[in-house]
């Protein structure tokens, strides 16, 4: 029995690989090049139960076919995690929407035509749930039943909205395909994911999109204005990884597992950084100590937390671990 993890080089995926390997699963990861696969294999200590297949670009709906033709007998579980998560583009369709949607189509077609897969877990997002227009409204509460109302054309106003749309359209395709073809599907819908990189050597000046929120604050200067000033919701990457395993180990078919451990603000992160690392000469923000007072919409994920059954890592711990790793790399600690 093997677990296929698409987008194995990703920030979250590396923690998922770590959990899978610790539980002795056979793991097949998809990577975009041989070099990336070789590097990742080495990072994990070259275990014999970890192997890689190359999928250069998930925008090609045929991309997964050779992999499934070759390894169809082994793959029992699919964790489809690959999807672009960045805001560095003005070609929203080509760089965000098409890979997300075609990647999901491609993986499901390959499963349907060539595989003997028992369960599929798709890494979707809270942004497939969120209605951006209501987010600043402190009274708005979202649950796992909600859907982002974005349209294909309407979401192409800026990279953030286009990314949000990409996750919604990809998840819709997953549910439709699973229903039509009687495939067991669970989606994982995390809010912004913080936490350390799996490997210290992966810490670079710029981190993955979600951790950049913390990284920019670590690199701020005294008196800097907080820009952008986030009031949002977070979850730690180690909890997200754990949820991916529970999603197929337990009977969670049909669930959208919403992962959130509550709100955060940029000021709140600054307060933690200034308290834990007083030697850092960074901005105190405009309202030191008042980090979490401004309202932002809430994600009521009590149902998912009950299904998962483990306590989530606190904001303080998540920020502390993320910052410690960066500061060690930078020689501050």
What residues make contact with ligand NDP under the rule CB under 6 A? 7, 9-13, 32, 36, 55, 57-59, 81-85, 99, 123, 125, 167, 190, 192-193, 208, 210
Task: Give least dist CB 123 to ligand NDP, A.
Answer: 4
Task: Give least dist CB 36 to ligand NDP, A.
Answer: 6
Task: Give least dist CB 32 to ligand NDP, A.
Answer: 4
281: left (phi over 0), alpha (psi -120 to 50) or beta: beta
Between helix 34-43 and helix 11-22 the angle, nearest 10°, is 50
Judged by beta carbon, residue 11 or residue 283, the one nearer ligand NDP is: 11
Q: Distance (Å, rounded) from C-alpha 238 to C-alpha 195?
A: 7
Q: Distance (Å, rounded) from C-alpha 51 to C-alpha 217?
A: 37
Task: Give least dist CB 126 to ligand NDP, A.
Answer: 6
Judged by beta carbon, residue 77 or residue 283, the one nearer ligand NDP is: 77
Q: Let me know if 24 is exposed, middle or buried by CB neighbors in 10 A (0-12, 13-18, 19+).
A: exposed
The answer to whether 118 touches 2, Cβ cutoff 8 Å, is: no
Q: Identify which of 233, 99, 239, 118 has the alpha carbon closest to the alpha carbon of residue 186.
A: 118
Judged by beta carbon, residue 104 or residue 267, the one nearer ligand NDP is: 104
Judged by beta carbon, residue 99 or residue 285, the one nearer ligand NDP is: 99
Task: Give least dist CB 128 to ligand NDP, A.
Answer: 9
The answer to whether 272 touches 320, Cβ cutoff 8 Å, is: yes
Judged by beta carbon, residue 85 or residue 283, the one nearer ligand NDP is: 85
């Amino acid at each position: 029995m093997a677990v296929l993890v698409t987008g194995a080089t990703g920030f979250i995926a590396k923690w998922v690989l770590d959990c899978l390997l610790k539980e002795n699963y056979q793991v097949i990861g998809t990577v975009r090049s041989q070099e990336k696969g070789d590097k990742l294999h080495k990072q994990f200590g070259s275990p014999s139960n970890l192997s890689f297949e190359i999928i250069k670009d998930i925008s090609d709906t045929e991309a997964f076919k050779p992999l499934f033709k070759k390894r169809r007998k082994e793959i029992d579980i699919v964790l489809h995690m690959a999807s672009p998560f960045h805001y560095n583009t003005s070609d929203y369709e080509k760089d965000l929407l098409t890979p997300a949607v075609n990647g999901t189509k491609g993986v499901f077609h390959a499963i349907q035509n060539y595989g003997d897969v028992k369960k599929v877990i798709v890494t979707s997002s809270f942004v497939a749930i969120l209605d951006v227009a209501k987010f600043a409204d402190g009274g708005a509460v979202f649950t796992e039943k909600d859907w982002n109302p974005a349209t294909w054309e309407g979401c192409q106003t800026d990279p953030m909205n286009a990314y949000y749309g990409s996750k919604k359209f990809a998840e819709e395709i997953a549910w439709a395909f699973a229903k039509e073809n009687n495939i067991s599907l669970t989606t994982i819908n995390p809010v912004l994911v913080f936490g350390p990189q799996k490997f210290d050597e992966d810490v670079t000046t710029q981190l993955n999109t979600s951790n950049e929120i913390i990284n920019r604050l670590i690199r701020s200067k005294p008196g800097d204005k907080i820009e952008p000033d986030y009031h949002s919701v977070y979850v730690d990457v180690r909890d997200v990884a754990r949820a991916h395993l529970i999603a197929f180990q337990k009977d969670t078919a049909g669930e959208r597992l919403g992962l959130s451990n509550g709100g955060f603000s940029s000021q709140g992160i600054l307060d933690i950084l200034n308290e834990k690392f007083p030697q850092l000469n960074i901005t105190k923000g405009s309202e030191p100590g008042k980090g979490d007072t401004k309202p932002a919409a809430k994600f009521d994920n009590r149902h998912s937390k009950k299904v998962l059954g483990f306590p989530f890592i606190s904001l303080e711990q998540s920020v502390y671990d993320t910052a410690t790793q960066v500061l060690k790399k930078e020689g501050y600690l």
